[in-house]
Amino acid sequence: MEQLPGGRRLRLASSLGLGQRCWEVTLDEERGLLAWRDPRPPRRGADNCFVPTSEIIAVEETEQNKKQRSTGKWQKMAKPHAFTVYYVKKARNHRWRCRDVTFWCADEYLCNQWIQALKELLEMQKCRPKQLLVYINPYGGKRQGKRIYEQKVAPLFSLASISADVVVTEHANHAKDNLFEVNISKYDGVVCVGGDGMFSEVMHGLIGRMQKDSGIDQNNPKAPLAQCNIRIGIIPAGSTDCVCYSTVGISDPVTSALHIIIGDCQPLDVSSVHHNNTFLKYAVSLLGYGFYGDVLKDSEKKRWMGPMRYDYSGFKTFLSHHYYEGTISFQPAKHTLGSPRDKDSCRTGCCVCKESEQQLAEQRKKCGFKHEEDEDEWKVIKGKFLAINVVNMSCACPRSPKGLSPAAHLADGTADLILVRKCSRFDFLRYLVRHTNRDDQFDFSFVDVYRVKSFQFTSKLSEDNESSVTDIGKKRFGQFCRDHPACCCNIANSTWNCDGETLDSSAIEVRVHCQLMKLFARGIEENCTDEAAYSHSSIEQLL
Ligand SMILES: Nc1ncnc2c1ncn2[C@@H]1O[C@H](COP(=O)(O)OP(=O)(O)OP(=O)(O)O)[C@@H](O)[C@H]1O
Task: ipTM value, please give it.
Answer: 0.97
Does position 72 have pLDDT exceeding 90, yes or no? no
Confidence of residue 42 (pLDDT cuts 50, 70, 90): low
CB of 400 sitting under 6 A from ligand 1: no
If one compares 457 and 303, the residue with the highest pLDDT of the two is 457
Mean pLDDT in residue range 230-259: 95
Q: What is the mean pLDDT of the chain?
A: 87
Does position 47 have pLDDT exceeding 60, yes or no? yes
Quote the ligand 1 centre to 200 CA distance (angstroms).
10
Ligand 1 atom at minimum distance from 303 CA = 26
The strand ranges marked E within 211-277 are: 231-236, 266-275
CB of 141 sitting under 6 A from ligand 1: yes
Mean pLDDT in residue range 517-542: 63
CATH number, domain 127-265+520-527: 3.40.50.10330
Quick check: 192 and 137 in contact, CB under 8 A? yes
Mutate to test the pocket of ligand 1, among 137, 234, 299, 497 (most ligand atoms within 8 A of CB): 137
Instruction: Average the pLDDT over each of 225-229, 305-309, 387-391 and give the range with the smallest value.
Output: 305-309
Please report the pLDDT score of residue 256 as a whole number: 98
Quote the ligand 1 centre to 194 CA distance (angstroms).
7
Q: Whose CA is nearest to atom 21 of ligand 1?
A: 141
Please report the pLDDT score of residue 526 as a whole number: 87
CB of 250 sitting under 6 A from ligand 1: no
Instruction: Average the pLDDT over each of 30-39, 231-240, 338-347, 470-479 and give the range with the smallest value.
Output: 470-479
Does position 78 have pLDDT exceeding 70, yes or no? no
* CATH 3.40.50.10330 domain locations along the chain: 127-265+520-527
Sign of the torsion angle spanned by Cα atoms 252, 257, 258, 259? positive
In tens, the pLDDT along 423-480 reads 999 999 999 999 998 899 999 999 999 999 999 999 987 777 554 544 444 444 344 3
CATH topology of domain 272-336+346-463+480-512: Tumour Suppressor Smad4 (2.60.200)
Please report the pLDDT score of residue 43 as a whole number: 63
Candidates 480, 483, 507, 488; CA nearest to 496 is: 507
Does position 481 have pLDDT exceeding 60, yes or no? no
CB of 338 sitting under 6 A from ligand 1: no
Quick check: 196 and 485 in contact, CB under 8 A? no
Does position 185 have pLDDT exceeding 90, yes or no? yes
Instruction: Average the pLDDT over each of 239-253, 283-297, 429-443, 517-531 and give the range with the smallest value.
Output: 517-531
In tens, the pLDDT along 324-341 reads 999 999 999 999 888 999
Does position 540 have pLDDT exceeding 80, yes or no? no
In tens, the pLDDT along 438-452 reads 899 999 999 999 999
- Angle (CA) 262 93 33, round 5°: 40
* CATH 2.60.200.40 domain locations along the chain: 272-336+346-463+480-512
SS3 401: coil
Please report the pLDDT score of residue 453 as a whole number: 95
Confidence of residue 21 (pLDDT cuts 50, 70, 90): confident
Quick check: 135 and 167 in contact, CB under 8 A? yes
Burial label for 459, CB within 10 Å (0-12, 13-18, 19+), is: buried
In tens, the pLDDT along 91-135 reads 999 999 999 999 999 999 999 999 999 999 999 999 999 999 999
Instruction: Average the pLDDT over each of 68-72, 88-92, 405-409 and give the range with the smallest value.
Output: 68-72
Residues contacting 465, CB < 8 A, separation 6+:
471
Instruction: Average the pLDDT over each of 238-242, 269-273, 344-348 and give the range with the smallest value.
Output: 238-242
- What's the CA gap between 156 and 171, in Å, rounded? 27
Does position 228 have pLDDT exceeding 50, yes or no? yes
CB of 236 sitting under 6 A from ligand 1: no
Does position 529 have pLDDT exceeding 50, yes or no? no
SS3 152: helix
Does position 245 have pLDDT exceeding 50, yes or no? yes
Mutate to test the pocket of ligand 1, among 139, 148, 284, 309 (most ligand atoms within 8 A of CB): 139
Domain 2-125 CATH class label:
mainly beta
- What's the CA gap between 325 and 469, in Å, rounded? 19
- Helix-then-strand count for the chain, H and E: 17, 23
Mean pLDDT in residue range 214-222: 96
* CATH 2.30.29.30 domain locations along the chain: 2-125
Instruction: Average the pLDDT over each of 237-241, 490-494, 528-532 and give the range with the smallest value.
Output: 528-532
Quick check: 17 and 75 in contact, CB under 8 A? no
Quote the ligand 1 centre to 235 CA distance (angstroms).
13
